[in-house]
Each structure stands twice: as C-alpha cells, then as structure tokens.
A and B are shown apart, each in its own frame.
Chain A
Amino acid sequence: MFLALFIVFIPFLFFPSSIFAGDVVLENTLTLFGDVEGFNGPYRQSLTLLGQEFESFFEISKGNHTLFEAGFFADGQEQQNIQFNVNPVLSFKYYTDTTKLILGTLENENRHGYLEPLEDPLLEFTRPIEYGFQWKERADGFQSDWFLDWQDINIVNQPEIFDYGGVTRADVDEHFDLEIQFHAHHEGGRIFFVHVINNYVPAVGFRLHGSLPVLGESSLAVFGVLSCDFEGQYITGPDWGNGFYARAGVTPWGLFELYGIMWNAQNFFSQEGDPNYSSQGLDPNYYQANRMYEELGFKKEITGDKDFLFDAEIKSEWADAAWALSGKMVATVPFNLDISIQEKKKDGIENAN
C-alpha cells in the first residue's frame, strides 16, 4: 500500500518554481451512450445500458505549469423517472510539455489504455469518473499513464478499495511499439480489520501498425498476460494464471475498422477485467481452468473537427463454445466557453483573462 502510493507519487516531489497567470474556461461535455452485452453467463450477465453523462467544470489556469478544475459530473440511465448521480470534479494539474501530474479527479479516457482482460470496457460507462492521483508522460516515441484510483473508503463493514497501475508504450520505430501494462486491485483497510485481498495483473507485448494497400490503417497487438492473487484470494482456482492476447484490425478503404481478438488463457483472473477473459465464473463454484475467447467486430468513428465524436461498434463473441452478439454507440458533444474573470494577485495586481 505504502509502496504503491509512494512510487506513483515520486514525480510530484520535483516541482520546479516559476510565475505566470492564465485563463478561465468553462468546459462542458455531453455524452449519450448505449451498450448491449449479449452474453448471459456463465462469465457475465447480459446487460443493456442506455444513458447520458454531462460534465461541466471551470478550468482555471494558474500560470504556465498549473491549473485546477472545479465542477461536477452527472450521469443517469434513460428511463421515465430519470435519476442523476452527481459527483464533483476537482482536479489539480501540474504540466510541462511532456509531463502531466494530476491530483483529484483523474483523466481516464479509454480506461487508461488497458487491454480488455485487464479492465472491462464497460467501466467507461459504469465508472466514468475516478479520483486519486495520476502521472502521464507524452513525448516523441514514448507515452505513459500511471494512476491510483480510490474507489471506496474504509468504514464499518466496508473495506477500502482502490485500483492502481498503468500503461507505458515506447516506439521502437515508426511501425513497432513495445508496451507494458500493469493493473492491481486492492481491498483491505486496517481501521475495521477487514480481510485484505490483492489482485495483480501485468502484461507485456508489442504493437505493429501502419497503412496497407486496400486494407488501410492496420494494426496487430500481441500481449502475454499474467494474473495472481497471492495475498488473499478471489477465485477458486490457483494463485497464478496466464493468458495470450492478440488483436488485429484493418480499415478497408478507410470506411470502418474490422477487427478480431483472440484470447487463450489458463487460470486467468483480473478483478476488473472483462469477465469473458476470466477462468472464474459468476457462480463461485463455476471454474474453467482453460479458457478461449474470440471476438470479431466492426467499429466506426465519425469526428467533426472537435465538435462531436460518434463511435459505433458491433461485435460477435465466442466464449468457449457459446456465442453472443454485443454492441455499443457513443455520441460525445463538447462545448467550451471562455470566461472573463480577473484574478487578484498577491501583490494587488490583477490579471485580465
């Protein structure tokens, strides 16, 4: 626990000092989504989500290297008596040309870049907002995103729950990247002496990508994945598991992406991963040591020069011998407003923004 917090936190120690001032922007994003998960057991239940999310916050720059965000995030499921779940957005961000350090509300788009076996894509709708701290790097040929996401605090009859980890990718050349991923999930807390459980899932692999005749933008990702529960145990199987993940995609004539995923695993379990990749079934007594999973899908993205993003996906899935059809649609509309506010400076001089 201490080590995990401390390692993610080391870069915060080396803030340099400088002085400048900046702008105030009201950032708003409306997201409409629908997701249908066709499988109904033994690994996951069928599910239909249809809802909307709205995020609105002030982004206030404090200079050339720091800004903070304050606002709210609301999401609700489509129904007659819609009820919105509202969470605060409070972030402190320190940034340079290549580094971003975040405290508070995290940037978790695309699940930090995780593969499906490590984090379930459904979390983009069911856990759209995360709190903790984060370290992001983006430089030529290198990008990294490491974080700690605090989910539950330790109170009576409730353990503390947090997950942490990250993704680092280094470009070997224009078409070949090496990548490591790590995800851990912790349940524990000593205040009320709750049982401690840890789940660790590392992955290492490579990505090939480039443009091919007719097939357009094409990619191949291959990863070896491990899982372990050697401190506490979630599953009925052994402590250690492993899996092989491959994803290939092509974009014929640039119309849409046609992709396929292949997964072959032995005793694999990730607490926050897509359950279709896991050896543990929904029923604690259902356990399948050797797992196969395949997916074939179409994906289409339409973007309008930062005005909107429309993303539609339909996929055919084979989990062992069973088959199901799933799909999702997401429409995202951002709109930002510049606000004129004068910040009072320490020495009495005001900054016109």
Chain B
Amino acid sequence: MRINKSWFFVFCVIGMTTRVHAKSIDWMGQTALAPTAVQGAVEWKNQFTFYGDNNEFFEPFRVRETLLGQQFNSFLDASIKQNVDLWAGAFVDHQSAQAVTTNIQPIFSFVYHEGGSQFIFGTLLPVYRHGLIEPMESTALEITRPIEYGMEFIQKDNFINLDSFLDWQQVLTDVNREIFDYGGSSRLPIWGDFTLLGQLHGYHVGGEQYDGIVRNNLAGGIGLGLDGNFLGSSTLEVFGLGSKDTNRPNYPGPAYGCGLYTKVLICPDHQWQFFGISWIGQDFISEEGDGNYNSLGTDGITYEPSRTYEELGVRRFVEIENGVTFDFELRSNWIDASWGNSFRFMAFVPFDVTVDNKNSKTN
C-alpha cells in the first residue's frame, strides 16, 4: 500500500476541528452512531430501503441517470462483551428491472463502543456519506455504495461530532490497482450558535506490488455554521474547500483547485426542509464528489476552470410509524448557465428482532 503524506494527517485534521454540542436537526444528515445490541443479547437487525433517484442533467459534468430499486441488509448483532458487538449477515441490492443481477455482499463487523465513541472494523454502514458535503462525496453514493469495508471512528457527544473512515474499495491484484478512499467530517461548536466545520476526503489508486499508476485526489476544507430560528429552525453553512489532484492521466487542469460552498437550510417544522446551495469553484476536483461541482467533465476531456452551481430544493421527511420513515427531495439545479432538475425518494423500514436475550444484563 502506498500512502502519501497527507494520509497521515487525516485523523489529525479532523480531530483538530472537532468538539462540542452543535445544535442540529437530526434528519439533516448529521453524524450518527450505529445502534448496538442490548448488553448480552443477540439481535437480528434488518433494514429495507426502497429508493428512487432521478436527475435530468444535460451538462457534461454529471451523468444523467435514474436509479430505482430495493436494498436489504440483515445481520445478527451479538453483544459479546460489555462494549463489544459482532455483526454478521448480508446486504442485498436489487435494481428494479426484469433481468438484473441481484448484488449480495457480506456484513462482518467488530464494533467497539463506549459512551459516545464507536469504532467499527469490517463492514461500515455509513450514514449520509459520513457527513461529507456534496462537493466531497456525491449524494448518489448513498444509493450506489450503501455499505463500505474498512474502519470507522465515530464520536458523538457534547464535545465532539466526528465521523472518520477508511473505505477499501478494491484490493491489489495483477490486473487491478488497489483503491481506497478516506476522510471524514467534523463539527465543533465554538461560540453561541456558531460551529466550526471540517471536511476531508481522499481517494487513492495505487499499489507497489505490481507496476501501474499511482494517483491521489485530496479535497478538504473548513467552514463555519450558524444555527438560527429564521422561519423555524435554520442553518447557514459556509465552506472554503481546496483540492489537489496528482498523476491523473491526461488531466487538463492544474493540480490545485478551490471552491466556496454555501448552504442555507430552513425547517419550518420537523417534516419539511427548504434548502439552497451556492457553489463557486476554480479548478476544483473531488474524485467522489458530485460532478456538478467539478471542473472536469465525466468524459475526462471537458474542462471548465471556473464553475458555478446553484441548487434550490425542498425535502419532506416523515416517520410514518414504528421507525418506518419516508424521505422525499425535489431539487432545481443550475449548472453554470443551464438548468436541470432532480428528485429522490427513499423509504426505510427497520425490523429488529431479539433472538437471544437469556444472558442480557442491565447496562
């Protein structure tokens, strides 16, 4: 495994920008701890996800596509020690179509948890892309890559709100390069309603055992969040982001880029959210970010050094009953000078069963 220097700073940078008690609305996509079994119990956890995602983009920066399907993860969560859980099960993804391959992947995780800290080793079940904003990781990944393999550290308490991870995507073989991404997000309340925000995402292609390309993409930045009570509960987030891309074949742009990301959220109640995003970018590129924020097109040739992108949207989130939730989002997108639209819906249906509670003890 070949790692550039910045890799070692990942957790340090995120850790430095983390602390405290940001006032936030849970369903807005904040860091979440994975639920663990009652001590001494074995629980069979199931979650069904029904998704649809459609965009009508005609610009060369992001692929126009429709995703429609169902996902199902089912695993046993065994509490084997006071702070240790083991997960074992399977994840199934079925795209809605007559003749498609149903994708089945294993779930095996070691989970250490104590208070607001959680370390997961093995299969990761990321929530809202580990808290990364759209230029860093595309929202489509919530559907196309709902589980990851690697390690994750989450801290969520009055002092810290952090989700950091390493996601191994492809192992090194004589025909494949190793691929992994890493990074995380953090929130650090600093004064009153102000929060210091941190973001980092790296993407690495390499491997020393076999000759081949070694390239890295790193994007990150810091921001400021302000929580208020304008028209209900509201939040303003402003990020200054930078990117560095090295050794990408035939890359037409410079190695360094930057961007300014501003997002306004207004929640009149707990079920509706109105939001607006503004983005100004200069030679910015994040490998797994939403292509609409990048200067490089999906064809690898189109290149626009100066980019602007705006988004207006409304989101409806409702818990119907017994943990069943429904999430709908409708967006209007302005990509430079052209207009597009997109929407998404997701229904989440959890179904947890206590398999063995004979040895359960009171926490």
Which residues of A approach B to under 8 Å, CB–CB? 1-2, 5-6, 9, 12-13, 15-21, 60, 62-66, 68, 70, 87-88, 90, 92, 94, 103-105, 127, 129, 131-133, 150-154, 160, 190-191, 341-346, 348, 350
Contact B353 A344 (CB under 8 A): yes
Contact B351 A68 (CB under 8 A): yes
Majority-rule SS of A interface residues: mixed
Residues on A with C-beta less than 8 A from B64 are: 190-191
Contact A63 B322 (CB under 8 A): yes
Contact B50 A103 (CB under 8 A): yes
In angstroms, how far is the closest chain A Cβ from the Cβ of B216?
A: 27
Residues on B with C-beta less than 8 A from A64 are: 321
Assembly CA distance A133 to B68 (angstroms): 9
Query: With A17-B321, A66-B324, A348-B38 in contact, is A131–B96 under 8 Å at CB?
Result: yes
Assembly CA distance A344 to B350 (angstroms): 10
Give residues of chain B (308-363) contacting chain A, Cβ–Cβ below 8 Å: 316, 318-324, 326, 328, 330, 341, 343, 345, 347, 349, 351-354
Residues on A with C-beta less than 8 A from B68 are: 131-133, 150
Which residues of B approach A to under 8 Å, CB–CB? 38, 43, 48, 50, 52, 54, 56, 58, 63-66, 68-70, 72, 92, 94-100, 102, 316, 318-324, 326, 328, 330, 341, 343, 345, 347, 349, 351-354
Could you write out 6 A-B pairs with CB less than 8 Å apart?
A150-B97, A153-B95, A153-B97, A190-B65, A344-B43, A350-B354
Contact B321 A132 (CB under 8 A): no
Query: With A103-B50, A344-B43, A344-B354 in contact, is A12–B321 under 8 Å at CB?
Result: no
Contact A5 B54 (CB under 8 A): yes
Query: With A1-B56, A12-B328, A131-B97 in contact, is A62–B50 under 8 Å at CB?
Result: no
Residues on B with C-beta less than 8 A from A131 are: 68-70, 94, 96-98
Contact B323 A62 (CB under 8 A): yes
Contact A62 B94 (CB under 8 A): no
In angstroms, how far is the closest chain B Cβ from the Cβ of A128?
A: 10
Smallest CB-CB separation from B340: which chain A residue? A2
In angstroms, how far is the closest chain A Cβ from the Cβ of B189?
A: 27
Residues on B with C-beta less than 8 A from A2 are: 54, 56, 341, 343
Residues on B with C-beta less than 8 A from A348 are: 38
Contact A90 B345 (CB under 8 A): no
Query: With A104-B70, A160-B66, A343-B352 in contact, is A151–B97 under 8 Å at CB?
Result: yes
Contact of B321 among A65, A160, A342 (CB under 8 A): A65
Contact B94 A90 (CB under 8 A): yes
Most buried by A among B48, B92, B341: B48
7 closest Cβ pairs, A-B complex = A131-B96, A63-B321, A103-B50, A90-B70, A150-B96, A344-B352, A190-B64
Query: With A66-B349, A150-B68, A343-B352 in contact, is A92–B50 under 8 Å at CB?
Result: yes
Query: With A12-B326, A70-B72 in contact, is A103–B97 under 8 Å at CB?
Result: no
Contact B98 A151 (CB under 8 A): yes
